[in-house]
Structure formats: C-alpha cells, structure tokens
Structure 1
C-alpha cells in the first residue's frame, strides 16, 4: 500500500488480492465505528444547563420570594465576551425540552413591531388549567408560554426553542423585572448587554423547576447591569407535578369582589425616598423619568433630557418611571 506520492514515471504495481481484502475489511470497520459514534451523538440529549458551578441542589426551597441570588450576582460567563449582536437557542432535547438561550442584546435585535400570537406552541409539560385561588398572581390560567429571552429584547415570538411552560408568577414576578431592567438600560444607553437564560429541569421532568437568568452590561464591565438569579417556576396556592405539568389547588378560598376592592384600596403605596418637589429627569427618547442621582441620567444625551418638578408632572406628560432607580 503506497504511503507517499509516486513519481509519474514510476510504474504502479497492482496490489495483491489479500491486501485488497484486508483494506476493504479495515474500511468497513471504520464505517461501522463512525456510524456507531453518530448514533450515540444523535441520541444524547441537549444539555439544559450551562457548564458552570451552578447546581439545582444548591438552590433553597421556595419561601415566598420569586427569585434568589446566585454566586453573589456574578454571572457564570466566560472571559472576552462577544459584544456584537447575536442570539442563539439550543435545539430541543429528546424530551422536547428547551435548553440554554444566549444573546448579546443591542437595539438592533429589539423588535419594531407588535408581538404576534404564540397560541399554537405547546412547550413540554403544557397543561392548560385555570385557578381562582388566593395568592399573588394566582387568579387566571396557571401557565404562560414563557419566553426564555423576552420578546421585548430580541423580538423572538413563536420560536419553540425559546418558549417553556412557566407559571404566571415566574413570568410576571420573577423574570419580567429583570427583562425590563435590561430593556431600559439598552434603550437609554444604546450599549450591549450579554444575556443568558437557562431552564433548569430536575431529571426527566417536563416542566422546569425554574430558570437561571444572567446578564452583564459590556461597556462598563457590569457597573450598570450585573445579575445572576434563579427564578422559581412556582405558583402560590397551586401544587405542580413537574414530571408532566399536572397541578392541583392547595387552597379553595376565593376572595369576593368586595374583598378584592378593599384589598386594592388598602394596598400601601411605595414610599418616596426623595422630596415631592425634587427634580426628576426625563428622557425624551425612551419616555422614562429618573431620580436626579440615577446612574442612567449620567449616560443620557443632553439633547434628550427634560426636567420635572414632581412625579405627577412627569406621568401626566406620558413618562414612565425608570425600573432601575424607581422614582
């Protein structure tokens, strides 16, 4: 069997029959080994957690708060992060479950049109059921088709690789505040944020126990946006079977309309830590207003700044409070 390049003037000898048979046998063996490797790779489920020090076993049981801080709020990101806009979604695993979703979010990725319907998507563990029980966010349908990376960030809508079965509580109380924080920052600074959301499944459960949310503002090395939190996929007043998504109410108490009204009227208003007549700074571009000492104000273009004497004045002119300084 030739091992080098033959000269054009050198005659090529015909291989012996035994050598041909041996070569064919070797080639067949290689093909079988390659086929076995390919089959093994195809049957291996897509990992649902990033390669980090995070472990579901390290997360305390839900105790009334929608999320818990992980790793002192420091993301498990590698060094030298890509600061160019991109988004990446894992293929569904063998159980039809979503995996890690990662993006470097900029204004270029954000949607410019209204969100469409996602009603046709049925994530793993999807079991439609409605409850009217006492508990924050409990009244209504138990589950949302929950975006891993929110629509407001990348414009991904009915992407099956980006939608999990998540409770209303997870979606609204757990994830939304962090999504709003990132959205506000990008719109007001036009700077990128590296962002990753990982659905965390326990064993072969079809419903995630929660999601790990990580983000870092790249222009200032995390000075403005830096978090690493685990948001619980729970619903107060409801017990969830995470194996298949079935559920049951843990309380049958239903507040009457009168009780609801009284509760809404007696709900305490958030205290203002600044004087009523203190100046607030609005951003003409984002239609957000801030405390004068908010870090977002220092990043605001002077041409976009507008001053308000009080909150009511800002709100009456169509401005919304900043999610970072909560004016």
Structure 2
C-alpha cells in the first residue's frame, strides 16, 4: 500500500511539473528586451519631464535614439536635397503617437551631448507658453560648429544664424543653449520661419494647442546638422488646422559647407562679388574707407531697433514701416546691428539700419 502511495505521489509531482513548464513564457529576445527598456525609460522621462542626453538623429543610424524623438523616423526617409529649402517626409504626416496628444501645454529640451550638440526639442504649444516680454540677446551662446562668416550674396550677409529649434515666438525660449543650433540664414528664414509663423498665427487665433517637435539630424561626429525634422499637429481639431512633417535642409545656395567643423567656402554657383571702385584709385580708396568706417560703426554701435516678429526685419524706430506694423508683431530691441542679424532678423530695405 505504501508503494502505491509513493507511486501516486510521483505521478502527481510529474504532472504538476509538466503543467508548469507548459505555462512558462518563452525566452525574450535581447532586442525586444532593449526596446521594452527604452519604452519604459521614455514613459518615466515623459512623466518626470526630464530632458534627454541624445543629440537628435545620427545620420549613420537607422532611427532616433532619443526618448522624445520620433521612433519610426529613419534617416532614409529624408528626400535628397533638390534645390528647395524643405521637403515633406512621411507623406507630410508627423510621427506622433496617439498617447502624445494632450490639451496641457508643455516643453522639453534635450541635454547637449558630449560634442555640445542639441537634441530633440518638443512642446505642446499654447498661448500660455508664448512670450510676454521683449526678446533679449543670444549673442553669448555659441552652438556646436558656430563660426562668424560673411558672404556678400547672403541675405543679411551672415552665413550662420543661431537658429531656435522651437521658435522664440512659440515658447519664449531665447538664450537656451539646448534650443539653439548653428543654421544657415537660408534654413532659418526660408525653411523654418514660414512653419513657425503658421503655428504661431494658428495658436493666437484659435487658442488651441499644437504638438510641435523639432529634431536636428547630425551625421557622425559633425558639429553642423544636415538639417532639422519639423513636425506639428493641432490637437483640439485633430490636425485640421495644422499638420505637417518636413525636413528643412541646412544649406546655403552658393556656399559649400564643411559639416564636420562649420567652415565654408564660396561655391562655383555663387553670384559674383559686388563691383566696387578700383582700390588703387583715389575715389576707390575714399569710398572703400568711408564704407568700411560706416559699416563698422553700424555693426558695433548699440542702437534701439524695432523688430517685426512676423517678417523678421528690423527697423529704426523712426521708419515709416514701424507705424504700419501690427502692434502684436512689434518688439523693441537694444543692441548692435550684428546682434540683430545674428538673432535671425534682416535690415529693413526702406530705412536701411
């Protein structure tokens, strides 16, 4: 009898062991574990509001590594530059997840990486984030790859601007080093500004929110970004008011840029230099000396200008254009002419400041 009981006990234990094995989960691949860990990290960061330490997208990687960036975005999605300031990506539809949408305003900026490069800047733009004070100077910020370079054929002369990833008019972030990259005048004015103005006008008119994300794309250890991915979608009307996903190229027509260091040179396609009197002539020497003296004085002297935050031009306060300016677009600025230009503004063609 005892032998039978032992036998039954063995059978029961064996059966329980087999059932337990059948219900045990299969081993999880390392890749899936890594993805899950990254997602958990993303959720934690989103809840705590901590900024990230990833410098946008590395162009030699397949997708963004930063927690605030578009996980589905791949560098291969970017169309080759064809002469336009920007191109639609992903059918002009942002890479936002359903869980990203909220009617609460927020803004987050990535920590600079070991090379001093910016990462993704992310915000849900509402009227409560927009500036209520005058814009100050950003001249002390030196983004990665920053160089002061002039070309006579570049609008405003300066090749590079300190480009806000999220425009000042949207979140009032000005001299924030986590929100400023070295960008060409062309990228800043022809590429990014039209989209920033579009979002700002929409938010002011509707009082709605716009989910807005800008991700710089760097290649390898380059200090200058190839460009930025700009995404935006209006929240309350599910994208009926604002919806875009574009890559803005960090290029300047007529200039060849070394993206590793930020140095540059005039390309063969650049316009010819502006003609000036021969340096050897008396008239030439006088004109040259007078022009240099005048330009140096205007460039370095601290002056009060009026910024038009819509057209991104700056004027003397006495300029007739100032009286015609919408009050909501008018902003006073005191500083040098160079500082005004470095902040992304160009001189008025009428009063010629």
- Preserved CA contact (<8 Å) 2:55 2:216: no
In structure 1, the residue matched to 2:54 is 46
Please, which of 244, 252, 274 is the counterpart of residue 227 of structure 1?
A: 244
Deviations 1:69-112 (A, max 9, x none): 00111100011312201100000011110000000110000001
Do residues 96 (structure 1) and 113 (structure 2) align? no
- Preserved CA contact (<8 Å) 1:97 1:206: yes
Deviations 1:213-234 (A, max 9, x none): 0000001100110000000000
Do residues 59 (structure 1) and 84 (structure 2) align? no
Distance 1:176 1:239 in 2: 22
In structure 1, the residue matched to 2:136 is 116
- Preserved CA contact (<8 Å) 1:97 1:124: yes
Q: CA deviation at 1:55?
A: 2.5
* Change in CA separation of 1:118 and 1:319 when aligned onto 2, cut-off 3 Å: closer
In structure 2, the residue matched to 1:106 is 126
Distance 1:179 1:163 in 2: 15
Dislocated runs of 4+, deviation >6 Å: none
Distance 2:196 2:207 in 1: 16
In structure 1, the residue matched to 2:91 is 72
- Preserved CA contact (<8 Å) 2:226 2:259: yes
TM, length-normalised to structure 1: 0.63
- Preserved CA contact (<8 Å) 2:77 2:90: no
| SS of equivalent to 2:175 | coil
Gaps of 5+ in 2: 1-51, 58-68, 277-309, 311-322, 329-353
In structure 2, the residue matched to 1:22 is none
In structure 2, the residue matched to 1:3 is none
Distance 2:204 2:250 in 1: 28
Q: CA deviation at 1:113?
A: 1.3
Do residues 188 (structure 1) and 205 (structure 2) align? yes
Larger mean Cα displacement after TM superposition, 53-62 or 152-161: 53-62
Distance 2:184 2:109 in 1: 21
In structure 2, the residue matched to 1:128 is 148
Deviations 1:246-270 (A, max 9, x none): 000113603559xxxxxxxxxxxxx
Aligned length: 219
TM, length-normalised to structure 2: 0.58
Distance 1:235 1:317 in 2: 29
Distance 2:107 2:156 in 1: 34
- Preserved CA contact (<8 Å) 1:138 1:235: no
In structure 2, the residue matched to 1:241 is 258
Greater share of helix: 2
- Preserved CA contact (<8 Å) 1:195 1:216: yes
Please, which of 107, 119, 124 is the counterpart of residue 87 of structure 1?
A: 107
- Preserved CA contact (<8 Å) 1:138 1:236: no
* Change in CA separation of 1:319 and 1:138 when aligned onto 2, cut-off 3 Å: closer
Distance 2:152 2:258 in 1: 19
**1:157-236 map, 5 Å:** 157-236=174-253
- Preserved CA contact (<8 Å) 2:77 2:89: no
* Change in CA separation of 1:181 and 1:45 when aligned onto 2, cut-off 3 Å: closer
Q: CA deviation at 1:61?
A: 2.7
- Preserved CA contact (<8 Å) 2:56 2:218: yes
Gaps of 5+ in 1: 1-43, 258-287, 289-314, 321-327
Distance 2:181 2:115 in 1: 13
Do residues 149 (structure 1) and 166 (structure 2) align? yes
* Change in CA separation of 1:88 and 1:131 when aligned onto 2, cut-off 3 Å: same
